[in-house]
């Protein structure tokens, strides 16, 4: 996809309506990722409606009705957004199982989405789960969806992978157009006075940028036949330049738009990027994209350990 600038509005409640998406388009965003359709949301609500005491045909009908209703609502969001946004509109599916999503992916393409972003976000806590099963699920879901659509398929990964680079290499071989590093897990917390679980910080912080830079830099230097989008910790104007230098083609941003007006913020980011490029004598992002990624993969381990020792050698 061709973007007029590298700022992509990430999937969130901010992108749940065509009206909101139009405001991001008018503010100058390069692309928009629609709010995710969650597999668990559909299945949980279907289970609530599907009363097992009801005659089987009636229960099955309600479950299927709810499923189709949710999917229809999402297709309508795509169609309505495309009418008012003349930039790439990316649908987002948050799934866990390799089932039924291929068929729906085809409907997403028919509705006019320019690409599909697949999120397979789950903690692996089952004692019986074998190593590699979770990674293989990414590959299988990608393969089945690619059989049904011709639009780009983007994989948004969580950071709970033993070797993200190896998985990215297989996703690239399977036809993924890009990967996003990283998805953000639900943040838990505990209220010690009420002695109960509560939600932690919903928005990302600038502290998360280091993780993003590390893995975008390592992955883009190793697997260079796929595009990367950076996600997480992009809270300052310079952070956008940093992720591009590390090897990203774009930045998926969300939390900052909960705090500041989109139009002024996008103008600030794109203006700073343009000024920086002029100072550095850069005519295009392609000239510096990946300039500071990790190209000598064999020395990654030594480099990381050396920096670790330097960083802590003076600490007592």
Per-domain residue ranges for the chain?
7-312
| Closest residue by Cα to residue 186 from 115, 122, 103 | 122
Who wins on pLDDT, 173 or 41? 173
On whether the CB atoms of residues 108 and 116 are closer than 8 A, the answer is yes
pLDDT interval class at 94 (50, 70, 90): confident
Average pLDDT, the chain: 86
Cα–Cα distance list, 29 to 43, 58, 103, 205 (Å): 33, 46, 30, 21
Interstrand relation of 188-191 and 196-199 (parallel, antiparallel or unpaired): antiparallel
d(Cα 155, Cα 244) in Å, to the nearest integer?
A: 19
For residue 219, pLDDT beyond 80: yes
* 7-312 fold: TIM Barrel (3.20.20)
pLDDT given for residue 307 in this prediction: 59
What's the predicted TM-score (pTM) here? 0.88
In this predicted model, what pLDDT tens digit does every residue of 99-151 receive, in sequence order?
666 778 899 999 999 999 999 876 666 777 787 888 999 999 999 999 999 99
* Exposure b/e, 266-282, CB count within 10 A at least 16 = b: beebbeebeebbeeeeb
Determine whether 122 is exposed, middle or buried from the number of CB atoms within 10 Å of its CB (0-12, 13-18, 19+). Answer: middle
The number of C-alpha atoms within 13 Å of 135 and in the hemisphere containing its C-beta is 16
Average pLDDT of the segment spanning 13-20: 97
């Amino acid at each position: 996809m061709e973007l007029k600038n590298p700022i992509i509005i990430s999937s969130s409640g901010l992108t749940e309506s065509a009206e909101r998406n139009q405001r991001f388009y008018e503010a100058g965003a390069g692309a928009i990722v629609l709010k995710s359709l969650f597999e668990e949301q559909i299945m949980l609500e279907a289970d609530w409606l599907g009363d097992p005491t009801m005659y089987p045909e009636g229960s099955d009908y309600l479950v299927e009705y709810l499923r189709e209703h949710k999917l229809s609502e999402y297709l309508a969001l795509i169609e309505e957004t495309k009418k008012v946004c003349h930039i790439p509109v990316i649908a987002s599916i948050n799934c866990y199982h390799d089932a039924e999503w291929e068929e729906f992916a085809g409907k997403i393409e028919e509705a006019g989405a320019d690409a599909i972003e697949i999120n397979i976000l789950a903690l692996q806590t089952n004692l019986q789960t074998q190593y590699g099963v979770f990674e293989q699920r990414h590959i299988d879901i990608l393969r089945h969806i690619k059989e049904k659509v011709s639009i780009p398929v983007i994989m948004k990964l969580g950071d709970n992978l033993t070797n993200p680079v190896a998985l990215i290499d297989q996703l690239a071989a399977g036809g993924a157009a890009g990967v996003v590093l990283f998805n953000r897990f639900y943040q838990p917390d505990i209220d010690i006075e009420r002695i109960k679980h509560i939600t932690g910080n919903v928005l990302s912080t600038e502290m998360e940028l280091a993780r993003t830079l590390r893995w975008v830099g390592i992955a883009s230097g190793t697997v260079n036949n796929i595009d990367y989008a950076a996600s997480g910790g992009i809270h300052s104007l310079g952070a956008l330049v940093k992720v591009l230098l590390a090897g990203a083609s774009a930045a998926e941003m969300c939390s900052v738009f909960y705090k500041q007006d989109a139009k002024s913020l996008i103008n600030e980011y794109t203006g700073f990027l343009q000024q920086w490029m002029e100072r550095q004598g850069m005519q295009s992002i392609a000239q510096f994209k990946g300039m500071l990624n990790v190209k000598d993969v064999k020395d990654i381990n030594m480099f990381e350990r050396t920096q670790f020792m330097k960083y802590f050698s003076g600490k007592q």
